Homo-oligomer: A and B are copies of this chain.
């Protein structure tokens, strides 16, 4: 796991996207106001190890972040993007639609600037502040308190904060176009495990509800939302699923209700005959994990658990 990394291939591409025309693309003399742009495409970067053999995984970041989430940790350790490759998985890392390298549409902002749209219709783009993010990422109950036993590398928190980006998600239609793009990607990969995090937690489920084709498994890490326990469970019956939680969840007013709802979903799905593992790490004696499991000091041990779970539950297609 520490020698040279040997890749069969690597690259990047987009899935999804549609063209829109606008007459407020720009208010600058150097750039034409009118024209066509492509929006709602999703950036995907991938690496395929030699002698892969294991199913492709797709890593989907959460709120206010990009695919950087899965790369080198803030304190400089190997990210899951590389580790899954080293463990034999072709690995796909996306930037959600309208985040990072997946573009957003500035037309409405410019329309406001030009007086063509009322000010209160300015699109609600936002940046998550570090102080509020502190509790959301569960570094502590509130900024700047630190949970006992915290495994997130807080000495490198400044590098983590640099990962946070302006977020256009509230300007997106419902369902979020990332879902459709993930469906397209799953079909293209012909069997991938969708690994989501936090705000993207519901996306693999929504993708399955759209079409299960190409979805070999779902790992939802600390999802913001699980499907309703009382809803239509049929889309999830044929897919191996894991929902995974770190520590300090039960005492978080934000996260405890989400864990509860996911547990209810897992119980309902199990009862209906589905295959789902609802894992709360402290129940296994693994303590101290923040919301950013993939960057905590035991991140690779957690990745090992996912690799083992995939090995056990997800069949790789013969190539």
Name A's B-contacting residues (CB within 8 A). Answer: 4-14, 17, 19, 22, 25-28, 31-32, 34-38, 41, 43, 45, 50, 66-68, 71-72, 76, 78-79, 82, 95, 100-107, 109-110, 112-113, 115, 119-120, 122-133, 158-159, 161-166, 170
Whole-angstrom distance from the CB of A168 to the nearest CB of chain B? 8
**10 shortest interchain CB distances as A-B pairs:** A35-B129, A26-B126, A113-B122, A11-B72, A32-B132, A14-B162, A103-B165, A41-B162, A12-B71, A5-B7
Q: How many angstroms between the C-alpha atoms of A41 and B103 in the bound complex?
A: 19
**Are A35 and B132 CB-contacts (below 8 A) given A50-B4, A82-B10, A101-B95?**
yes
| Inter-chain contact B124/A27, CB cutoff 8 Å | yes
| Inter-chain contact B126/A28, CB cutoff 8 Å | yes
- Which of B35, B105, B115, B166 has a CB less than 8 Å from the CB of A103? B166
Whole-angstrom distance from the CB of A242 to the nearest CB of chain B? 26
| Inter-chain contact A105/B72, CB cutoff 8 Å | no
| Inter-chain contact B14/A10, CB cutoff 8 Å | no
Q: How many angstroms between the C-alpha atoms of A31 and B6 in the bound complex?
A: 42
**Are A11 and B79 CB-contacts (below 8 A) given A68-B101, A101-B68?**
yes
Q: How many angstroms between the C-alpha atoms of A170 and B25 in the bound complex?
A: 14
Given contacts A4-B50, A26-B126, A26-B127, 15 further A-B contacts (CB under 8 A): A6-B7, A7-B7, A11-B76, A14-B162, A17-B158, A25-B127, A34-B129, A37-B129, A38-B158, A38-B164, A45-B71, A105-B127, A106-B126, A110-B122, A110-B124
Which residues of chain B are within 8 angstroms of A50 by Cβ–Cβ distance? Answer: 4
